[in-house]
Structure 1
Amino acid sequence: MLGFRDAVPALIAIGTWGLVTGVAIVKSGISETLATLMTLLVYAGSAQLTALPLINEGMPLWLIFAAGLVVNIRFLIFGAALQPYFRHLSWPRRLGVGFFSSDIGFVLFMGRYGESRERGNPLHLWYFLGIIGPGWLVWNALSILGIYLAAVIPASWSLEFAGVLALLSVVIPLVSTRPMAVCMLAAGCVAYIGQGLPLRLGLAAAVVAGIVAGVLSERLARKVRRK
């Protein structure tokens, strides 16, 4: 399957971050049982990591929920971009696709079909499922592994740094056009500047900045080509 083939390199990054998240959840004081349940029901590593300190500090549920929404607001943008490709599906199926969607899935899908004018092709769905299905399995498997091995994994392993390297190995090959490079540069700069913002707002701002910069760069490139 084409989607799975394209996803194989990304599975290393997904698995690494899943392991990091699983370890972080347990080391925050949550029991292994609750951590496993959280991993299976909340398929969002950034939201989980954002919620952990709020849970530990006894913050109200509405604030924890709101923080998770802010961090994951990027999926609203992803969903709007993917909607033309999957709008022919029923609501239950679209909700299912939405639940299993991921950052890597969106990036790989748009990298292959973002410039295509064809919409609603069954191959689009199968390609996307070939990415997000294995991604969900790998994420949960490694997250649960991290949960139950957290006590024996030393901090000296620097799993967070390994996760960053794994993600870079996936993202860098995707920078094949000027708009994509502008998108990555803008997102990286905003993420760096906004890393001190509360509730991981810097992440949400970086996503918005990257998308806006990429769209504007693409429009500018089209105008130049027309001239």
Structure 2
Amino acid sequence: MAPIAAGTAAWGLMTGVAMVKSGLSVFECVLMTLVVFAGSSQLAAVPLIVAGAPMWVILATAACVNLRFVVFSAHLRPYMMHQPLWRRMAGGYFTTDLSYVMFTARHPKPVPPDDLPTLRAQEASLAGNCAVTWVAWVVPSLIGIAMANAVPLHWGLGFAGILALLGITLSLASSRMRLISAGVAGAAAVAAFALPLKLNILVGIAAAVAVCLMLEKPAKPDAGLPKSGEAA
């Protein structure tokens, strides 16, 4: 996580600056940074809070922006179901896009619950990813809140976070199916950009999943297993 922490830090810094310059108090900015810990939904919710939008509109907007984490949590479920509920809930808070991607790239498959050494290794890997990401986001965000008047928004440092995500995405495009899914998701998200509440992200995910399911060939039966009716 260390090589991409700089991009996360730049993004967090600009989010802290943006929250203060939007009109929130320092206390509100610090509370949102520590409790929400989700840059996209923070940036989507802040203008609504400042405009005095109803609470349900703010919550619905933040929920729609973060719906991609439903997909992440469904994928991570086999990795975490052996843990008690409070640890799974804490893992949900600390997990971000980057920590999820880096963890699943390193551990593509869950392990049986009786394989304790590997389970511990996976838990340590995810905890380390999340810890580095949390520090790289929260600390610069607090610095941005404290130095909001000294860091102009036109510096565009938040774009560094996008570059970090783009770099990881390209590094994961290691097969033709992944290239196709990335292309389909990107094209669908751009085509649906006009949708409210950033629902174009969900359109991109749904389109990529649908296309890959259609293209994926079913697994061939094991030739070593006896066919129905044959003696073992």
Q: Could you say whether these structures have the same fold, taking a TM-score greater than 0.5 normalized by the shorter chain as the test?
A: yes
Match of 2:90 in 1: 96
Is the Cα contact below 8 Å between 2:11 and 2:159 reproduced in 1? no
CA deviation digits over 1:80-101, x for unaligned, max 9? 1000011100111111111101
- Stretch moving more, 193-202 or 37-46: 193-202
- Residues of 2 paired with 1:208 and 1:11: CA distance? 29
CA deviation digits over 1:58-117, x for unaligned, max 9? 111011111111111111111110000111001111111111011011111221222x36
Is the Cα contact below 8 Å between 1:18 and 1:45 reproduced in 2? yes
Is the Cα contact below 8 Å between 1:74 and 1:208 reproduced in 2? no
For residue 111 of structure 2, the aligned residue among 108, 118, 122 is 118
Match of 1:47 in 2: 41
Task: Tell me the amino acid that sits aligned with residue 67 of structure 1.
Answer: T
CA deviation digits over 1:129-182, x for unaligned, max 9? 110111111110011111122211224422233332233233222221222222
Match of 1:143 in 2: 141
- Residues of 1 paired with 2:214 and 2:146: CA distance? 46
For residue 186 of structure 1, the aligned residue among 173, 184, 187 is 184
State whether structure 2 residue 196 is matched by structure 1 residue 203: no
- Residues of 1 paired with 2:95 and 2:213: CA distance? 22
Alignment gaps of 5+ in structure 1 = 1-6
SS of the residue corresponding to residue 118 of structure 1 reads coil
Match of 1:37 in 2: 31
Alignment gaps of 5+ in structure 2 = 114-118, 223-232
TM-score (ref. length: structure 1): 0.86
Match of 1:130 in 2: 128
Q: How does 1:45-84 map to 2 (within 5 A)?
A: 45-84=39-78
Change (3 A) 1:181 1:39: same
Aligned residues: 218
Is the Cα contact below 8 Å between 1:84 and 1:119 reproduced in 2? no
- Stretch moving more, 185-194 or 76-85: 185-194
* Rg comparison, structure with higher value: 2
Match of 1:87 in 2: 81
Is the Cα contact below 8 Å between 1:85 and 1:119 reproduced in 2? no
- Stretch moving more, 180-189 or 33-42: 180-189
Change (3 A) 1:155 1:70: closer
- Residues of 1 paired with 2:23 and 2:81: CA distance? 42
Match of 2:230 in 1: none
Alpha carbon RMSD of aligned pairs, Å?
2.4
Which 4+ runs in 1 deviate beyond 6 A? none
